[in-house]
């Protein structure tokens, strides 16, 4: 397939998706989301047994693209709902991917980038990797990612990360169980491929069955929780605080919240 914002390669049973917008710090655009969804489908239909996701340049994924962020101010209710469902489709496609996934986090992974990095089965991160559910800082609600985070770290830790919107490093992410291993930058992709090789020593059918067991166990709760998250995600975009948060972020000034 023809991809404009990512690169997809195959080698010895391993597929690698590289987010390839280094000049934009691999920010999430509508085009990137579409490319990722198509690439995930291609890999799922391929003979690859393991998928590695990484970023080109110094960042893994810096969150939403600024131009796309600006365009959110003019979206209709129907468009907001569509955007929310598309993001859910991306996150669930990754979370429920039938093959084993490894995130090789080569730098900052912020907001939606945190979601992509931490929804993989294994997350390897360099010491300089940064994470953050920063939505509340711009008048947004981390509705969709919160559904997954609660399952990963529990309510108390999730409240801390989601309500403060603070940036946290690789060591803290590892303590919380969100990062599997911290790896020196020069060894990151080598270690990801070593892990992939170790996984491929196992029975492919057993790996598929185990992943299906895990995702089936979570599916009923996720279905109900995510539907509510989609509505909340779309609704917050109509608030005055959302408009102020986006505007102040783009204008690089401190927001003036109205609470509406």
Tell me which residue of 120, 105, 118, 110 sits closest to 140, measured CA to CA. Answer: 110
Residue 218 has what pLDDT? 85
* Residue range 85-132, pLDDT digits in tens: 999 999 999 999 999 999 999 999 999 999 999 999 999 999 999 999
Residue 72 has what pLDDT? 86
Residue 258 in contact with residue 241, Cβ under 8 Å?
Answer: yes
Domains of the chain: 6-185 (3.90.226.10)
Residue 220 has what pLDDT? 82
Residue 77 has what pLDDT? 85
pLDDT above 90: residue 217:
no
Residue 122 in contact with residue 103, Cβ under 8 Å?
Answer: yes
Residue 128 in contact with residue 173, Cβ under 8 Å?
Answer: no
Instruction: Please compute the mean of the pLDDT values over residues 155-184 and round it to a whole number.
Output: 98
1 pLDDT band, cuts 50/70/90, is confident
Tell me which residue of 67, 60, 8 sits closest to 36, measured CA to CA. Answer: 8
* Residue range 227-258, pLDDT digits in tens: 888 889 889 989 999 999 999 999 999 999 99
Interhelix angle for 143-153 vs 77-95, to 10°? 30
Cβ density class 85-96: b for 16+ within 10 Å, e for less: bebbebbbebbb
Tell me which residue of 16, 6, 10 sits closest to 189, measured CA to CA. Answer: 16
* Residue range 12-26, pLDDT digits in tens: 999 999 999 999 999
* Residue range 176-200, pLDDT digits in tens: 999 999 999 999 999 999 999 999 9
Q: What's the mean per-residue pLDDT of the chain?
A: 95
Residue 187: partners with Cβ closer than 8 Å, 6 or more residues away? none
Residue 93 in contact with residue 58, Cβ under 8 Å?
Answer: no
> Tokens 């975009």 — which residue?
237
Residue 192 has what pLDDT? 98
* Residue range 40-72, pLDDT digits in tens: 999 999 999 999 999 999 999 999 998 888 888
Active-site positions read 135
Instruction: Please compute the mean of the pLDDT values over residues 155-173 and round it to a whole number.
Output: 98
Say if strands 14-19 and 100-105 run parallel, antiparallel, or are unpaired. unpaired
Residue 223 has what pLDDT? 86
Question: pTM here?
Answer: 0.95
Residue 233 has what pLDDT? 87
Distances (CA, A) of 230 to 96, 194, 235, 242, 250: 18, 37, 9, 16, 24
pLDDT above 90: residue 139:
yes
Residue 135 has what pLDDT? 94
Give the per-residue SS3 of the chain.
CCCCCEEEEEECCEEEEEECCHHHCCCECHHHHHHHHHHHHHHHHCCCCEEEEEECCCCCECCECHHHHHHHHHCCHHHHHHHHHHHHHHHHHHHCCCCEEEEEECCCEECHHHHHHHCCCEEEECCCCEEECCHHHHCCCCHHHHHHHHHHHCHHHHHHHHHHCCCEEHHHHHHCCCCCEECCHHHHHHHHHHHHHHHCCCCHHHHHHHHHHHHHHHHHHHHHHHHHHHHHHHHHHHCHHHHHHHHHHHCCCCCCCCCC
Instruction: Please compute the mean of the pLDDT values over residues 201-230 and round it to a whole number.
Output: 91
């Amino acid at each position: 397939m023809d991809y404009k914002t990512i690169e997809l390669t195959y080698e010895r049973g391993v597929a690698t998706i590289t987010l390839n917008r280094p000049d934009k710090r691999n920010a999430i655009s509508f085009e990137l989301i579409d490319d990722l969804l198509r690439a995930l489908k291609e890999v799922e239909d391929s003979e690859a047994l393991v998928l590695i996701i990484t970023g080109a340049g110094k960042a893994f994924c810096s969150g939403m693209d600024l131009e796309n962020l600006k365009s959110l101010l003019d979206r209709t209710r129907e468009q907001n709902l569509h955007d929310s469902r598309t993001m859910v489709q991306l996150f669930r496609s990754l979370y429920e991917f039938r093959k084993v996934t490894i995130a090789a986090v080569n730098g900052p992974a912020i907001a939606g980038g945190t979601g992509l990095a931490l929804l993989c089965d294994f997350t390897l991160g360099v010491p300089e990797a940064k994470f953050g559910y920063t939505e509340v800082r711009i008048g947004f609600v981390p509705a969709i990612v919160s559904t997954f985070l609660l399952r990963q770290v529990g309510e108390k830790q999730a409240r801390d990360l989601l309500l403060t919107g603070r940036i946290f490093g690789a060591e803290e992410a590892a303590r919380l169980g969100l990062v599997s291993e911290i790896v020196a930058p020069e060894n990151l992709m080598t270690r990801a491929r070593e892990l992939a090789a170790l996984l491929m020593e196992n029975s492919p059918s057993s790996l598929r069955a185990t992943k299906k067991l895990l995702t089936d166990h979570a599916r009923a709760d996720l279905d109900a929780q995510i539907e509510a998250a989609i509505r909340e995600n779309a609704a917050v975009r109509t608030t005055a605080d959302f408009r102020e948060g986006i505007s102040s972020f783009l204008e690089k000034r401190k927001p003036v919240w109205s609470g509406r």
